[in-house]
Each structure stands twice: as structure tokens, then as C-alpha cells.
């Protein structure tokens, strides 16, 4: 009898662990429907399993099924109200739902979003993701419904205490939207000095493009390429050259290098490089050459409106 119970217990634990690991693998492989199915079946016999509920919520979230994700995270924070991450995920799903509905409807849940993030921050003074969420929330909300650059900066300062890189990036973000470009640039530069990741360089490049400073954007991208030696940087440099009609010879060379060395890990399909080359040849008033490259782009990705619209201008 005892042996039977022991075998049954081990089998149950083994089944539970296998289901959990399978769901994690499905999510890692971006097979979110399979992860959802796996956890739905699993939770029928293990309705209180916290990891299972969280994985099901994550699977729904990746599919943008916000109401169903919210339902799972709601269960989690009710079962473990002291867990900061559950409040954070609940607030995040609510926030994503707010972005997917009308502004009037969204106003009704913004307070709940903010409260969830504030609760997570209170429960865990080291929770970096929550503080990023609060920075973005206070920056994006109008003042009339609780937006505040000073509060956003307060959480950016908390981030700096936890992670210098995150702190500088957050401060750059706040100052950029508060129309203080010199302070924004300073903090993005500090993030590069301390961290130097591609993300740091991308944030500064995006800032320069928003400020319509393409030469600085190109210089920053070249610095990033020198440090990281990523083929993707060739495309980004070519894109800026094409968009702003500057350093066209450099842009042409960068894009052709990108195409020559292209692989799936570069992220941007080759067709977008063809399109950027077409832009450059149009700037150079080489219409025939521009047509060759835009036709190559359309041939590979025929449903991209930008390609079709551009061809109509030639």
C-alpha cells in the first residue's frame, strides 16, 4: 500500500514537472498556443499551482489576450499578495489592455495599473522592471490623470541606485520627453560609458534621430560598430544616410556590406536594405538604379506599403 502511494506521488510530481518544463520550452520557442494548451490541461488537476498559473498568464500575454492574462495574474496576487512580481505582471497586463482600448475606456483602469506597480515597488525595493514601468507610466500619462516628470525622475534615481546603466537610460528617457535634450544626451552617454551595450547605443541613436541630428547618429552607430562588430550596424548607418540624404557614398557602401554579410540573426530582412539603397539612388538622381533595387525589395516582400509607395514616386 505504501509503495503504491509512493509510486503515485512520484508519478504525479514527475508529470507536474514535465508539464511545467514543456510549457517553458514552448514559450522559449514562441509556441504560445501550445504553452497555453499545456498549462490549461495541467491546471485542471493542479488549480493552485503558482508556476502553472504564471506560465498560463504569460502564454496569454504573449498572444495579447490581455483579459485572460489579467485573470491569471489576479489569481496569483490574491494567493501571494506579498509577491512583487505578481503585482508587476498584473499591472503590465492591465497597462497593455489600456493601450488596446479607447482612451475613454483606458482612463477607467489607469488607476489600477498605477496601484499595481506602486505595490510591487513597495514590496520589493530592488525590482528593476517595476521602476522602469513607473518611469514610463509617469512620462506617458498626461498631468491631468497623474502623469509627472518629477515622479518619473524619482524612480529613475531609484533605478540608478540599483543599476547605473538602467538609471542613466531612464534619466535620458525622462529628460528627452521633458524637452531637456542636453541632459538627455548626457545621461545616454553616461549609460554607454558605464554599460556600452547595443541597447545603450540604440537609445542614443534614436535620440539623435528624433532631434534631427543625423551626423551624430551616424558617428554613434560607427562607434557601436567598432565596439560590437555587428553587421546590423551597417544597415542602421545606411538607413540614417538614406533617410536624411547625407553621406550617400558611405550609406551605399554600408548597405551593400549588410546585404553581402546578411544572416537571420541580423534581424532586418535584406529587402529593407534594398529599399534603403533605392532611396539613396533616388537622392543621387539615378532613377534606373533606384528602380532595380526597389523592384528587388518588392519581389521579396510584396505586401510592404512603404516599398510600393516609394516606387510610385520614381
pLDDT digits (tens, 9 = 90+) for 195-241: 999 999 999 999 999 999 999 999 999 999 999 999 999 999 999 99
Classify residue 207 as left (phi > 0), alpha (psi -120 to 50) or beta. Answer: alpha
Q: Give the DSSP per-residue string, 11-78.
A: HHHHHHHHHHHHHHHHHHTT-HHHHHHHHHHHHHH-TT-HHHHHHHHHHHHHTT-HHHHHHHHHHHHH
From the options 1.50.10.10, 1.25.40.10, 3.40.50.12140, 3.30.70.260, give the CATH code of 130-228. Answer: 1.25.40.10
Distances (CA, A) of 4 to 1, 7, 8, 46: 5, 5, 6, 21
Q: Which residue has the cell 489600456?
A: 98
With cut-offs at 50, 70 and 90, classify the pLDDT of residue 6.
very low
Q: Give the DSSP per-residue string, 68-84.
A: HHHHHHHHHHHH-TT-H
Please give the mean pLDDT across all residues of the chain. 92
pLDDT for 56 beyond 90:
yes
pLDDT for 183 beyond 60:
yes
Residue 171 grid cell: 534619466
pLDDT digits (tens, 9 = 90+) for 19-48: 888 899 999 999 999 999 999 999 998 999
Architecture of domain 30-124: Alpha Horseshoe (1.25)
In CATH terms, the fold of domain 230-314 is 1.25.40
pLDDT digits (tens, 9 = 90+) for 236-292: 999 999 999 999 999 999 999 999 999 989 999 999 999 999 999 999 999 999 999
Domain with CATH 1.25.40.10 in the chain: 30-124, 130-228
Amino acid at each position: 500500500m505504501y509503495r503504491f502511494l509512493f509510486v503515485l506521488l512520484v508519478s504525479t510530481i514527475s508529470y507536474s514537472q514535465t508539464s511545467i518544463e514543456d510549457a517553458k520550452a514552448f514559450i522559449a520557442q514562441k509556441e504560445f498556443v501550445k504553452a497555453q494548451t499545456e498549462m490549461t490541461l495541467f491546471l485542471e488537476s493542479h488549480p493552485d499551482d503558482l508556476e502553472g498559473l504564471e506560465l498560463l498568464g504569460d502564454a496569454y500575454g504573449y498572444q495579447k489576450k490581455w483579459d485572460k492574462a489579467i485573470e491569471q495574474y489576479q489569481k496569483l496576487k490574491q494567493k501571494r499578495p506579498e509577491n512583487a512580481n505578481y503585482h508587476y505582471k498584473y499591472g503590465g497586463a492591465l497597462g497593455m489592455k489600456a493601450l488596446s482600448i479607447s482612451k475613454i475606456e483606458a482612463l477607467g483602469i489607469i488607476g489600477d495599473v498605477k496601484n499595481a506597480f506602486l505595490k510591487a515597488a513597495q514590496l520589493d525595493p530592488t525590482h528593476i522592471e517595476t521602476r522602469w514601468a513607473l518611469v514610463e507610466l509617469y512620462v506617458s500619462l498626461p498631468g491631468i490623470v497623474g502623469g509627472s516628470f518629477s515622479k518619473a525622475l524619482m524612480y529613475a534615481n531609484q533605478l540608478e541606485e540599483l543599476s547605473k546603466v538602467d538609471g542613466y537610460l531612464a534619466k535620458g528617457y525622462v529628460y528627452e520627453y521633458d524637452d531637456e535634450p542636453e541632459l538627455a544626451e548626457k545621461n545616454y552617454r553616461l549609460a554607454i560609458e558605464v554599460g556600452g551595450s547595443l541597447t545603450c547605443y540604440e537609445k542614443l541613436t534614436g535620440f539623435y534621430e528624433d532631434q534631427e541630428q543625423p551626423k551624430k547618429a551616424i558617428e554613434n552607430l560607427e562607434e557601436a560598430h567598432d565596439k560590437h562588430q555587428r553587421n546590423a550596424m551597417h544597415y542602421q548607418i545606411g538607413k540614417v544616410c538614406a533617410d536624411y540624404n547625407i553621406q550617400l557614398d558611405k550609406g551605399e557602401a554600408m548597405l551593400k556590406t549588410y546585404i553581402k554579410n546578411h544572416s537571420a540573426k541580423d534581424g532586418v530582412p535584406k529587402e529593407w536594405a534594398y529599399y534603403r539603397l533605392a532611396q539613396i539612388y533616388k537622392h543621387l538622381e539615378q532613377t534606373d538604379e533606384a528602380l532595380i533595387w526597389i523592384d528587388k525589395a518588392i519581389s521579396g516582400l510584396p505586401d510592404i506599403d512603404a516599398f510600393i509607395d516609394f516606387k510610385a514616386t520614381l
